[in-house]
Amino acid sequence: MDYTKIYRADLAKLFGPGEDVFAVVPYRLAIGAEPPPRTSEEVERGLRPLPRGLRRRVADLSTRERQRGNRTLLHRILDFDWPWNRVDVDEKISGTAVTGAAGSVGVRIADATRDRIRQFGVVTERRFVVVHQQAAAKFELVTEVPRADMVSAVRRGRLFQRGRVVIAFADGSSIAVNTGILLTGQARRLVTALSP
- Over residues 52-65, the pLDDT tens digits come to 666 666 566 555 55
At residue 141 the predicted structure's pLDDT band, cuts being 50, 70 and 90, is: very high
- Give the other-Cβ count within 10 Å of 168's Cβ: 18
In the 8-state DSSP scheme, what is residue 110? H
At residue 44 the predicted structure's pLDDT band, cuts being 50, 70 and 90, is: low
The CATH number linked to 7 is 2.30.29.30
Total count of domains within the chain: 2
Query: What average pLDDT score do residues 68-93 get?
Result: 60
Between the two ends of the chain, the Cα-to-Cα distance in Å is 24
- Residue 169 structural domain: 3-33+91-194
Same domain, 140 and 60: no
Does the pLDDT at position 194 exceed 60? yes
The model scores a pTM over 0.85: no
Does the pLDDT at position 180 exceed 80? yes
Higher per-residue confidence, 17 vs 166:
166
User: Strand locations in the chain, DSSP E?
Assistant: 21-27, 98-99, 119-124, 127-135, 138-146, 150-155, 164-169, 174-178
CA-CA-CA-CA torsion for 17, 18, 22, 28, nearest 10 degrees?
A: -50
